[in-house]
Amino acid sequence: MTITRRSLLAAAAGTGLAAATGPVRAQDADDKARIGIAIPAATHGWTGGLNYHTERTIAAMEAAFPQLEFLLTTAGDVQSQVNNIEDLSARGIDALVILPMESDPLTEPVKFAKSKGTFITAVDRGLSEEGVEDLYVGGNNPQYAVVAAEYFKGKLPQGGKIAVMRGIPTAIDNIRIEAFQKTLEGSGIEILDMQYANWNPDKGFEVMQDYLTRFPQIDGVWAGDDDAALGAKAAIEQAGRQGEMKLLGGSGMNRVIKMVMDGDPLIDADIFYPPTLIVPAIQVTAMRYATQAPVKGRYVLDSPLITAENAAEYYFPDSPY
């Protein structure tokens, strides 16, 4: 477990969020609001970017509102994140910003924190029970899946066979898969199999090897994530089958967007789902205490398709992800 204490600033930008009911406790110099943050450790590219942008946001904000303080925790597994939340709750935090490693096992610990009066901001993956969080900040997960399905419908107008890699067992993975399957209905596209690849390149390589062994015809692969897509790409190229299919990942990794820009024959598109979504999550939560703004609601970022025509808009070579 990693814990960092720093001052926290909130940008007073318009969010379009609904007002929350109930007063917001004002802080003075002797009564700091404490905001806990519980995010996954940098176990793969997307979470590496998440950690980078969390630290970058904290560094940019730390001087502005000395009446705010936060505790940052990172975890490499579910139980560690449960422990982190219990520890933060014991420290008397006013608010919790959480990106759950998995939805189901994190829901009860977060509910316990909420029962103590903690303001809850759920980021990206959400919780398995509706109504626990006061604020949700994330990407447009139904759109993410619809964009992926429409991509394959465009590539396979006469139908075809595709393999799918799921992420990890979370609310957003369920939302994506359901929307993906619904959008493909009536298209003539058959899903050969769906296995969890954990948004991880090594697991993506392993799952893709299994698909390549079992299925002589694969017209497309939705890896669901750029890390998993890179693992799948390595397996496909190792088998010499890169001319048989199209591979689609998602999230907007610089390395993958550069492949799209350069006309890679296997990966010609991507879907935007940035780890920078942690930035407004921290800012809007802090705004509740820094400016006494009674915020509550949903803050959702779009997930457009990235192609060779628009890839330059999404390419940031200096970013770690």
b/e per residue 261-272 (b: at least 16 CB within 10 A): beebebbbbbbb
| Whether residue 133 is found in the same domain as residue 244 | no
CA 227/CA 46 separation, integer angstroms: 8
The mean of the pLDDT values for the chain is 88
| Whether residue 133 is found in the same domain as residue 148 | no
Average pLDDT over residues 144-164: 98
Structure token digits, residue 145: 């899946």
CA 285/CA 291 separation, integer angstroms: 10
The answer to whether residues 193 and 177 touch, using CB atoms and an 8 Å cutoff, is: no
**Least confident range of 7-16, 81-90, 235-244:** 7-16
In a domain, 319, yes or no: no
- Give how many domains the chain has, as a whole number: 2
In a domain, 127, yes or no: yes
Give the model's confidence band at 312: pLDDT under 50 very low, under 70 low, under 90 confident, else very high.
Answer: very high
Q: Which domain holds residue 68?
A: 2-138+275-300
pLDDT at 56: 80
- Residues 58-79: tens digit of each pLDDT: 777 777 788 888 899 999 999 9
| Whether residue 251 is found in the same domain as residue 281 | no
Cα–Cα separations (whole angstroms), residue 72 to 181, 295, 303: 37, 22, 27
Query: How many C-beta neighbours within 10 Å does residue 280 have?
Result: 23
- Residues 208-227: tens digit of each pLDDT: 999 999 999 999 999 999 99
| Whether residue 153 is found in the same domain as residue 260 | yes
Structure token digits, residue 137: 């900040």
What CATH number did the domain enclosing 235 receive?
3.40.50.2300
| Whether residue 212 is found in the same domain as residue 256 | yes
